[in-house]
Amino acid sequence: MVRVRFAPSPTGYVHVGSLRTALYNYLFARHHGGVNILRIEDTDRTRYVEGAVENMLRTMEWAGITFDEGPIQGGPCGPYVQSERTELYRKHADELIARGKAYPCFCTPERLDQVRKAQQAAGIPPMYDRLCRNLTKEEADKRIASGEAHVVRMRVPIGEVVRFHDIIRGDVEFDSKTIDDQVLLKSDGFPTYHLANIVDDHLMQITHVIRGEEWLPSTPKHVLLYEAFGWEPPKFAHLPLLLNADRSKLSKRQGDVAVEDYRDNGYLPEALVNFLALMGWNPSATEELFSIDELIRQFDLERVNKAGAVFNREKLDWMNAEYIRKMTPAELLPLVRPLLEARNYVAGDEYVLQVIHAMQERVRTLPDFVDFASYFFVPPDFTDVDEKYKSKHWTPEAKERLRALLPKLEALETWDHDSLECTVREFAEANGISAGKLIHPIRLAVTGKGMGPGLFELLHVIGKAESVRRMEKAVSTLN
Ligand code: GLU
């Protein structure tokens, strides 16, 4: 039975890399009919951010990632919040001391600082110098009994090679001399990540640890801890890093990294999930658009790459546009509504549905509906007009022609695509000009823009009264 976990630390927003980790765990669990567990790793109280757990839960729900066990669902291995399990970690730290695999350390922060500085000055990698490793049990017990502050450190074996197999990276080796006598329990009695993580993975019967590559250097420590407890380690799969276009580690400085930002900027969860699924995993087909069910069916850790995956924003935009195109205007309406309201644009549902229909093929994100198409809701003010387009198409002759055409448009009884097109084309022909000589100036007068949906559809949606009003105004006031 496959049991996997997503184990975020509530330190703020949800990074897109975390969402990918959560997604891969989810896909793997569902593919194998296994159990997907959510565990909150909140033992580092200095990094804890108020509201981060709630935000994380909302983000997972938005993305459609569900859990079978966790703080909300409960389950047989609870509680699923590490700060509620501290007694367990203390008990396990004691057990390690009793087995000779860990030891209490009384070194003060000042002493550790001096050691570190001396090592840095000597050009050696900073590590604990293991002063307390050889204290006798009697001495250690005496100092503990006298109430001296201490941590518990792991007794890393000397002169060993730690080996493990990673599903994605193959066989991995670390020389134990590069591994610090890591703190397992802090002086406040809280565990560090390493201890809490492996105790919980063991007690929660996790079969596969699927997490980001940044945790690879922690894994030999975890393997040693499993050994120290006499436990069978789970299987490991470390996911490739997400990279900026210049192949540096994906960072805030080069674009959005918070899932919340993508949500707020009008990306659909289906598109972001589809996009992230392909960040490191290669499906066997060349197809790139996958529903969540299709992802579940095809997902496989064997096809996850070692090499970092470049976060290609244009590809995400393309994918999002594809998803918007596949939706019906009625499905899009509730997503576009709040954006209109935020701008105080007032319009009935029927009207907004027509705008969505006209724009659907042209937008990449949801806010594009209001940003590119504001003229459906308010008359253009020509402040952001494309000057090149304007000087080319809004000539004195063009204005005169539009003035002459206007009465014919006003006389139209049916204001629909075909009647509009017919009127404009007949007028062009009668005057020996191309239809473009009318279409561009009309577009400019009515929308203030040089691009958009087909002009006749657009005029139809905006309606006769408003379109004529805008054209008249432009003819008389726009120079
Ligand atoms: N709490 C760690 C994190 O924030 C979990 C790493 C792991 O999956 O072991 O990503």
- Overall size of the chain counted in residues: 479
Tokens representing residue 369 in the block: 């509906």
pLDDT in tens, 82-130: 999 999 999 999 999 999 999 999 999 999 999 999 999 999 999 999 9
Yes or no: say if 235 and 208 are a contact pair by the CB < 8 Å rule: yes
Closest of 252, 306, 256 to residue 282, by C-alpha: 306
Q: What is the pLDDT of residue 56?
A: 97
**Atom in ligand 1 nearest the alpha carbon of residue 18:** 10
SS3 203: helix
Instruction: Report the residue among 18, 41, 56 best suited for mutation to probe ligand 1: largest number of ligand atoms under 8 A from its CB.
Output: 41
**Edge-to-edge order in the sheet of strand 151-154:** 102-105, 151-154, 183-185
Q: What is the pLDDT of residue 217?
A: 96
Q: To which residue do tokens 């939706």 refer?
A: 327
pLDDT in tens, 220-232: 999 999 999 999 9
SS3 5: strand
Closest protein CA for atom 5 of ligand 1:
7
**What is the pTM assigned to this prediction?**
0.92
* Phi, psi of 136, deg, nearest 5: -75, 160
Between CA 473 and CA 446 the distance in angstroms is: 9
Kindly name the residue from 252, 306, 392, 408 that is annotated as catalytic: 252
252 is catalytic: yes
pLDDT-flagged residues of the chain (< 50) = none
C-alpha 38 – ligand 1 centre gap (Å): 11
In this structure, the residues whose C-beta lies within 6 A of any atom of ligand 1 are: 7-9, 41, 197, 211, 215
Between CA 276 and CA 17 the distance in angstroms is: 8
CB atoms within 10 A of CB 296: 16
C-alpha 177 – ligand 1 centre gap (Å): 24
Closest protein CA for atom 3 of ligand 1:
8
Q: What is the pLDDT of residue 45?
A: 82
C-alpha 240 – ligand 1 centre gap (Å): 15
Q: What is the pLDDT of residue 341?
A: 96
What DSSP designation does 249 have? B
C-alpha 6 – ligand 1 centre gap (Å): 8
- Our measurement of the distance from residue 107's CA atom to the centroid of its chain's CA atoms, rounded to an integer in Å, reads 41
C-alpha 241 – ligand 1 centre gap (Å): 14
Beta strands 183-185 and 151-154 are antiparallel
What DSSP designation does 330 have? H
Q: What is the pLDDT of residue 154?
A: 98
**Atom in ligand 1 nearest the alpha carbon of residue 218:** 9
Between CA 375 and CA 360 the distance in angstroms is: 15
Q: Residue 119: which residues within 8 A CB-CB, separation 6 or more?
A: 125, 126, 127, 129
